[in-house]
Structure 1
Amino acid sequence: MEIDVQSLIFEFLGGLGIFLLGIKFMGDGLQRSAGDRLRDILDRFTSNPFLGVLAGIVVTILIQSSSGTTVLTVGLVSAGFMTLRQAIGVIMGANIGTTATAFIIGIDIGEYALPILGVGSFLIFFFNNQKVTAVGQALFGFGALFFGLDLMSSGMSPLRSLDAFHELTVSMSETPILGVVVGTVFTLIVQSSTATIGILQGLFAQGAIDLKAALPVLFGDNIGTTITAILASLGASIAAKRAALTHVIFNLVGAIVFLIFLGLFTSFIAYLQGQLSLNPQMTIAFAHGSFNIMNTVIQFPFIGGLAWLVTKLIPGEDTIIEYKPQHLDPIVINKSSSLALEQAKLEVIRMGEFAHRGLEETLKYAQTSETKHSEIAMQVEGAINSLDRKITEYLVNISAESLTKWERDKHTLLMDSVRDIERIGDHFENVIELIDYRITNKVDLTEQAMDDLNKMFDLTLLTVKQSMECLDNRDKELALEVIRKEEQIDQMERKYRKRHIIRVNEGLCSASAGIVFVDILSNLERIGDHAVNIVEEILEQQ
């Protein structure tokens, strides 16, 4: 029998493309319809590693990507939301959660793929409601997943009669390590273990590969999927690198253990297939699920050891940005309003220090274009937003108590300061987006423009720092100094804007570079305004 190689390749590649698009659409749709509460789930339910496993399973099922969950977890470890031990639990759970797609594929509804695609498209294009379009997106992805699988399966069916492929599968049965390598390499290329498991399910259903050869490929898929977390951790924090390494070690150890007991595991899966009358796709799904659950059960008691090992392998102190408030004790509110306000003030000053740190990292990003600085700045901005909600809530609870005039003034100052600090965070986030635009579009700023920006950044940083010191000490002289500096910032902005217009007219600066430059100046000027708002209120109350 002659094989049409072109049709085989085209159908396989087209099917794989539609399948990957389906996974992405389904994950994005589920994530949007579930709301942006994934970080809250991970934050709230990771008080111990066992809850971390459950949270990892839930979030991975929602976003349809174990790598996505691992990357999200890496960010939370860096942000101080969870310890490395809790993160290891989430990573283990992510490995279990990723098997959900294999089980979905095992439910043989491929013949309904096109109508599901149609319904999903209808919901996306004919409804303006965001929730409905999110559901439509998930449905479209669901349909595309099965449609892509069907295409891949029909493309791969001739492989059964190909001698070279038959020899490869026999070799994989006799040398399981070869199957692991095949699975690992293919997942590294495709960057999705779900896709390679789907292909494996198709091959097994076609009878092109037997169970003993398929299982090592499955173990390799799990090793290959760690590449996304590794790529995400390059150039990132030490915590990110440790979490990514944990993912690699966990899957590598699992593959080695199960390779040693391959005969036993193969017999167990064959027994399940017979007892539960599983179709071929569902058999692979059960094998994938069993492997990840058993691997988690085996390694769960050694979470502390894993954390110790990766800390030894990747030494160094990590920059942890603690999102959670450190001074807000709700019990104090009923005991003493004055003491509660003092606690709130300490947290507001901490929030202000974050604003200064975020602005510093933004300046470093502008100077070096290194993404680690923008990542830290964005984590700081997340911490500022988190503290904004927590402090405001705490201050609202204090206002329910009977306050003296002095306490009411202090309460008003703190409420307004929180709002101003939160806006500083928004402005340096805007600056980061402008720097991102400059880097992506290869927009060059002249040496003069960069020099002007550095000077304005330095003055703005000093103004923010002094406004926080003023809030802490209620120093009138310092407040007047901040106001003078803010006036200097305003003068700088006008002066540098004029210089920029001259540069554009002389052809030294492009229009797009000019837009970036002027917008950064504008955001820095607004940061100065918010810093001065804080000290002006202090002066008014004295």
Structure 2
Amino acid sequence: MDESMVDWWTMSVGLFGGLALFLYGMEQMATALKAAAGERMKDILARLTTNRFMGALTGAFVTAVINSSSITTVLVVGFISAGLLSLSQSVGIIMGANIGSTVTAQLIAFQLDNMALLMIGFGFMLLVAVKREAARHYGGMIMGLGLVFLGMTLMSEAMAPLRDYAPFLDFMATLRNPVLAILIAALFTGLIQSSAATMGIAIVMASQGFMDLETGIALAFGANIGTCVTAMLASIGKPREAVRAALVHVIFNIAGVLVWFGFIGHLAEWVQLISPTRPDLTGQARLAAEVPRQIANAHTLFNIANTLLFIGLTSQLARLVQWLVPDKPASEDAFIVRPRYLDEELLTTPSLALDRVRLEILHMGDSVREMMQSIMPAILGGNRQTLREIELMDNDVDSLHAEIVSYLGKISRQSLTEHQTRELMSLLAAANDLENIGDLIETNLVVLGRERIDQGVSVSEPTREVLLNFHRAVSRALGAALQAVAQNNEIAARTVTAMKSEISAIADSAAAHEARRLVAEEPKRIPAYTLEIDIIEKLQRIYYFAKRMAKTVETDTATDNA
């Protein structure tokens, strides 16, 4: 065909418009899937056993459902940071995630072009006409899949004139060089950060008879390498655990391609044995009929084979990445507090992002509990330096509070369900209450410690025991409140609210003790009385904030059950 016979404008519009619909459909489908299944996927990952094979299966299943291996990796990093998984256990999950990421290509290979408009119409009807949240999510998923197939149809129709265009066919012939095909696919996947999109475009081209199976396999290899870019970008500026998990992904994918590079022909033969054939067709028509499904099968088979090949080496791979990415020297981050769990990758999956906020509130709570543990000995007998150190601890609390509030603000800009909106408000209230406790310790209790030093007040042993007993009870309530928020634990929340009578009884007993001291003949009894009463009042105030934190969990649970 002569170049003048190709309508480049029409073809470009159809190609890029189809690609836009294809990518938007994938995004729509992924968003709906994550909204519908995000919380359950988190629970499944959280219940992993130490069995590496079970980990691989779970990683494959979770990635297939939420349609994102990068989100699976982010979740794994969070569980490592929280001490729920070791790096060695996580390797199996990351390997399984590669298998799960091939499901989209399998769906695309069905080439349900004639069903595209029906799926878009049916999905749209569920989105706008049904009030049930779950049905709306499934509507978005079906509509997204329909847009994927419609985009593929437009791209296929746009590329049809190129079947007889010699320069394009010559270019496609160069892709039979596997090194070039791998490099092009890796660069394209890294650019658009979606291996599924690369595989989809490869399947579209194969459906026009433009490529053979070996070329399709080389493109799949390149897509596997290119998808590592997403993992590495997501790990920039993150804790060491995130960098190691991303590096596991990179090493596993590149090693898999290197192992299979010399066996592309053999892999093609095995795939042809398990894939449907069309012996009634010949030439380009047969390629168009057979190769799309074969490419999808090769992609899946390659990733399954790699997982089986490397699954026995999870411990060795974990040791390798720990050697490549060692822990930082303690002094490097000794005075810097950073969020551990607030990952930007999870913002598009609000249920998972809100769960990370819970973990970050627990992280913030660790600093508050350290302040709480240190303040009473410092008030009763510490020096100015000790009090100053406790005062400075509140900087960490304020920093984490600001990060949590900012992250919640980003979540609020997503499309949230009613339950997620309530959960977000409850977490914001809990973070504020926790920050108030830190401020109370910094601005009130530390000041009382300095007043004790300035006035030369000495706290008697009986009074010291009364105050320490009260402090232990309030600290226990604070710990239970943090557990309630971090785990959404209603039992822990009720424990805190049930302590109200105990706290009141201890406070009354402490006040009675102070009243008896007031009439006793002791030096500086008036300053001592004022100091000790103020301490009791401030501890009661801390319990008030702890109880408010716990009530956010009770209220949220009660609303959901109503």
Tell me, yes or no, whether TM beats 0.5.
yes
Query: Counterpart in 1 of 2:46?
Result: 43
1:90 aligned onto 2:93: yes
Could you say which residue in structure 2 is the equivalent of 1:297?
A: 308
* Alignment match, 1:432: 404
2:163 to 160, 165, 186: 160
Structure 2 residue 32 is matched with structure 1 residue 29: yes
Using the TM superposition, give the Cα deviation of residue 64 of structure 1 relative to its aligned residue in structure 2, in angstroms. 1.4
* Inter-partner Cα distance in structure 2 for 1:464 and 1:224: 55
Measured against aligned partners, the alpha-carbon deviations of 1:112-143 in whole angstroms (never above 9, x if no partner) come to 10011001111111122111111111111111
Where does residue 308 of structure 1 map in the other structure?
A: 319
Query: 1:295 corresponds to which letter in structure 2?
Result: N
Partner of 1:356: none
Q: Does 1:115 align with 2:118?
A: yes
**Contact conserved, 1:169 with 1:210, CA < 8 A, in 2?**
no
In 2, Cα distance between equivalents of 1:209 and 1:221 = 16
- Evaluate the alpha carbon distance shift between residue 195 and residue 35 of structure 1 in structure 2; reply closer, same or farther with a 3 A threshold: closer
Residue in structure 1 matched with residue 206 of structure 2 by the alignment: 204
TM (norm. structure 1) is: 0.64
The alpha-carbon deviation at position 308 of structure 1 amounts to: 0.9
Q: Distance in 1 between matches of 2:115 and 2:306?
A: 34
Aligned with 1:17 (options 17, 20, 27): 20
Aligned to 2:296: 285
Question: Which residue does the alignment assign to 1:228?
Answer: 230
- Deviations along 1:420-471, one digit per CA (max 9) or x if unpaired, are xxxxx9x976873348769x99xxxxxxxxxxxxx98963464899997664
Within a 5 Å distance, the mapping from 1:481-496 to structure 2 comes to none
Q: Contact 2:277/2:290 (CA < 8 Å) preserved in 1?
A: no
8 A Cα contact 1:186 1:224, kept in partner: yes
Q: In structure 2, what is the Cα distance between the partners aligned to 1:465 and 1:89?
A: 49
Deviation string, structure 1 residues 287-312 (Cα, Å, up to 9, x no partner): 11111011111111111111111111
The amino acid that maps onto 2:295 is I
Structure 2 vs 1, CA of residues 246 and 130 (structure 1 numbering), >3 Å: closer, same or farther?
same
The aligned amino acid for 2:181 is G
1:270 is aligned to 272
For structure 2, list consecutive stretches of 5 or more residues without a partner in the other structure.
Answer: 280-288, 331-335, 366-396, 414-434, 447-469, 477-505, 511-527, 550-562
* 1:373-412 aligned within 5 A: 379=356, 381-382=358-359
Distance 2:209 2:77 in 1: 40
Cα distance in 2 for partners of 1:21, 1:215 equals 25
Counterpart of 1:289, as a letter, is T
Distance 1:384 1:198, change over 3 A: same
**Contact conserved, 1:123 with 1:132, CA < 8 A, in 2?**
yes
Distance between the aligned counterparts of 1:456 and 1:153, measured in 2? 60
Task: Work out the CA distance in 2 between the residues paired with 1:479 and 1:162.
Answer: 91
Give the deviation of 1:378 after TM superposition. Answer: 7.8
Distance 1:465 1:264 in 2: 74
CA RMSD of aligned residues (A): 4.4
| 1:279 match: secondary structure | helix
Matches within 5 A, 1:241-256: 241-256=243-258
Correspondence 1:63-74 to 2 at 5 A = 63-74=66-77
Alignment of 1:431-450 (within 5 A): 432-434=404-406
Confirm or deny: 8 A CA contact 2:276 2:290 kept in the other structure: no
Give ranges in structure 1 of 5+ residues lacking alignment: 320-358, 389-424, 442-454, 488-525, 535-542
Q: Secondary structure at the match of 2:266?
A: helix
Cα deviation digits, residues 86-110 of structure 1 (max 9, x gap): 2111111111111111111122311
Deviates more, 1:158-167 or 1:109-118: 158-167
Highest Rg: 1 or 2?
2
Question: Structure 2 length normalisation: TM-score?
Answer: 0.62
Structure 1 residues 12 and 76, CA gap change in structure 2 (3 angstroms)? farther
Alpha-carbon distance in 1 for matches of 2:26, 2:217: 23
Contact 1:204 1:281 in 2 (8 A): yes
Partner of 2:11: 8
Change (3 A) 1:429 1:113: farther
Give 2:261's aligned residue: 259
Q: Cα–Cα, structure 1 residues 461 and 472, in superposed 2: closer, same or farther, change >3 Å? A: closer
Q: Aligned letter for 1:93?
A: G
3-state secondary structure, aligned to 1:177: helix
Partners in 1 of 2:220 and 2:473 — Cα distance? 61
* Distance in 1, Cα, partners of 2:317 & 2:310: 9
Q: What is the CA distance between 1:247 and its match in structure 2?
A: 0.5
**How much does 1:380 deviate?**
6.8
Alpha-carbon spacing, 1:139–1:435, altered in 2? closer, same or farther (3 Å): closer
* More divergent stretch after superposition (5-14 vs 221-230): 5-14
Picking from 137, 148, 164, the partner of 2:140 is: 137
* Deviation of 1:162 (Å): 3.6
The Cα offsets for residues 125-179 of structure 1, whole Å up to 9 and x where unpaired, read as 1122111111111111111111111112222333333434323332232x31111
Amino acid at match of 2:298: A
Size of the aligned set, in residue pairs, is 402
Q: CA deviation at 1:4?
A: 2.2
Q: Decide whether the 8 Å contact of 1:196 with 1:221 is kept in 2.
A: yes
Aligned 8 A contact 2:189 2:195 in 1 = yes
- Find the aligned partners of 1:104 and 1:67 in 2 and give their Cα distance: 20
Shift of residue 65, structure 1, vs aligned partner:
1.8
Measured against aligned partners, the alpha-carbon deviations of 1:279-336 in whole angstroms (never above 9, x if no partner) come to: 33211111111110111111111111111111111110699xxxxxxxxxxxxxxxxx
1:169–1:433 CA distance, 2 compared to 1 (3 A): same
The corresponding residue for 2:373 is none
Query: Any conservation in 1 of the 2:56–2:96 contact (CA below 8 Å)?
Result: yes
**Alignment equivalent of 2:240, drawn from 232, 238, 241:** 238
Structure 1 residues 243 and 159: alpha-carbon distance in aligned structure 2, compared to 1, 3 A threshold: farther
Separation of aligned partners in 2, 1:108 and 1:465 = 69
Does the Cα contact within 8 Å between 1:67 and 1:226 map onto a contact in 2? no
Aligned partner of 1:306: which letter? Answer: L
Distance, in Å, in 2 between the alignment partners of 1:207 and 1:159 is 10
Alignment CA distance shift 1:104-1:531 (3 Å): closer
Looking at structure 2, the residues matched to 481 and 531 of structure 1 have their Cα atoms a distance apart, in angstroms, of 19
Which residue of structure 2 lines up, in the alignment, with residue 149 of structure 1?
A: 152
Whole-angstrom distance in 2 between the partners of 1:384 and 1:153: 50
Task: Tell me which amino acid in the other structure corresponds to 2:91.
Answer: I
